[in-house]
Structure 1
């Protein structure tokens, strides 16, 4: 067997071992998981995550996932907890302590503090008879599947299971709270994810920036509006401000003969494609790509056909979409 074959065989073995471990975890969920979720939901404070070594790394991620899905949470390093950070804990909080062996000495002071001040403790470990699990109010047990290295010394199966347990807990609580994409964006305003969850109203132009003319406006004036507002289009309204149509550069080319002698309603394209202000901006990009257009008026049908804003493809591109 060549070196390449050995590398690939090991990679497949590790992935297979971890997949089997996850299957075992899925079968193991029971009333203890429900109790942990209910304990967190009932908390009036925050979820404090703690762990040492690889468990600490996973704990950081679990805390971040909980916090980003509507459950206030943060990570406390157990060593720092023993040197003053225990003061971060207070009544109303819930502690989630992580240790695969359940015997990490660094957690001792944290566990004692929760017992002394009656702070609910959730233990996450593969050893049900360990100190952590016997002290905990609720025990989240992951299957003892060994490690993917075959020697039991490289955290792999155990860390994968711990991470999956944290994800399951966070998402179960998120769904119970009916936490939706629009809520998720509140905690992820930056980066690609924030852009994908942006709504049309977050990016659109409104107020005096809207390029609008009435249907009887001479095209000489409509052209000035197009030029001044800088979007390359103008919306055409009736006397009450309801959108009747849109004039684009394509409409201008089609009506070039005698253009300046016409009114806006003679040049416009009727019933233009629009979008709701609360729609995702990513949906707007898809619509613009489908119809090969560069702008969409934002209209809330429940409020009539009055334009609330205008979204240009460049606004979406600047936000990281497209």
Structure 2
């Protein structure tokens, strides 16, 4: 049985480890900043090429560049540019059949000499597809084969040995992200489009959930008439369990709100409640929101106003619902 060789124990001090971590972040940040200064007409040409394509974007690469390529394909696809990743080695063994003349291929290789990518690059061109290369070597074979070359040159890797792909993969990722965002803006891809691409998880809930999906309706809305007594309003606040009651006209128009916070302030003022009408102590013209507004918008409105409840009214001012922070939390909007 082969013995496992014990790992070497680090002799670095805490300060040295922190210094190394900071160096890595600084080197990678500088590599990305340098890209901005070199961005030129090639970036515009690549964007126009993809916008004009009738097919999809196919991203390819191997090794660490392949991992970056997978992420970029996912970013393109989720921001309005249909895309997928094809591993360059698999492409040479049949997956080239996934690429059509209508497609644009983005090939990633820091050296620009990756054998697997260079093997398929001429075949991609022969298929009639357009080729965009992202490399760190503008004089490389891949850069020269490409219809458009995007320069991702770095001064050095963040690895102390200057060997492990670190700053180079960060630069390629940032450049691909810049391309995806430029395409997003050029296509007019908006929040609703983004929501349709992200229906799951917290992001989808925030972008898709409407007030009408989470508001309380019908008998679950605490409400009293404007002629109601203070005592009747308190009973309705208790019954509704929302910490408030709406005050409405006979035809159900919302004209006011009375909350448990209002009650605490009245108690502190030692008000005589005998014979008191709720219309005397309610907040007139209460904050409200439309039922078709995003639930996230309701949450933002409540946060800005520092309130825990909000009424939902239609275009004519009719009370159609109500919600509080607990409703938004239950729906996982906040």
Indicate the TM-score class for this superposition, using the shorter chain for normalisation: 0.7 to 0.9
What TM-score do the two structures reach when normalised by structure 1?
0.82
Aligned length: 318
Residue 12 (structure 1) aligned to one of 22, 43, 56: 22
Shift of 1:54: 0.5
**In the superposition, relative to structure 1, how do residues 223 and 118 fare at CA in structure 2: closer, same or farther (>3 Å)?**
same
Match of 1:167 in 2: 177
- Note if 1:111 corresponds to 2:125: no
Contact 1:200 1:276 in 2 (8 A): no
- Note if 1:288 corresponds to 2:302: yes
**In the superposition, relative to structure 1, how do residues 224 and 156 fare at CA in structure 2: closer, same or farther (>3 Å)?**
same
Partner Cα separation in structure 2 for residue 74 and residue 113 of structure 1: 18
Shift of 1:35: 0.6
Contact 1:200 1:284 in 2 (8 A): no
Partner Cα separation in structure 2 for residue 248 and residue 144 of structure 1: 61
Q: Name the Cα RMSD after superposition.
A: 3.3
**In the superposition, relative to structure 1, how do residues 211 and 267 fare at CA in structure 2: closer, same or farther (>3 Å)?**
farther
Partner Cα separation in structure 1 for residue 304 and residue 25 of structure 2: 40
Question: 1:249-275, CA deviations, whole angstroms, 9 ceiling, x for partnerless residues?
Answer: 45678699468x96x756743211223
**In the superposition, relative to structure 1, how do residues 256 and 51 fare at CA in structure 2: closer, same or farther (>3 Å)?**
farther
Which 5+ residue runs of structure 2 have no aligned equivalent? 1-10
Residue 111 (structure 2) aligned to one of 90, 97, 101: 101
Contact 1:198 1:282 in 2 (8 A): no
Match of 1:314 in 2: 326
Shift of 1:164: 0.8
Shift of 1:96: 0.8
**In the superposition, relative to structure 1, how do residues 20 and 290 fare at CA in structure 2: closer, same or farther (>3 Å)?**
closer
Which 5+ residue runs of structure 1 have no aligned equivalent? none
Match of 1:297 in 2: 311
- Note if 1:36 corresponds to 2:46: yes
Contact 2:65 2:110 in 1 (8 A): yes
Shift of 1:232: 4.5
Partner Cα separation in structure 2 for residue 31 and residue 290 of structure 1: 44
Contact 1:127 1:144 in 2 (8 A): no
- With 36-45 and 242-251 compared, the bigger mean Cα shift is at 242-251
Match of 1:275 in 2: 289
- With 46-55 and 209-218 compared, the bigger mean Cα shift is at 209-218
What TM-score do the two structures reach when normalised by structure 2?
0.80
Partner Cα separation in structure 2 for residue 232 and residue 25 of structure 1: 55
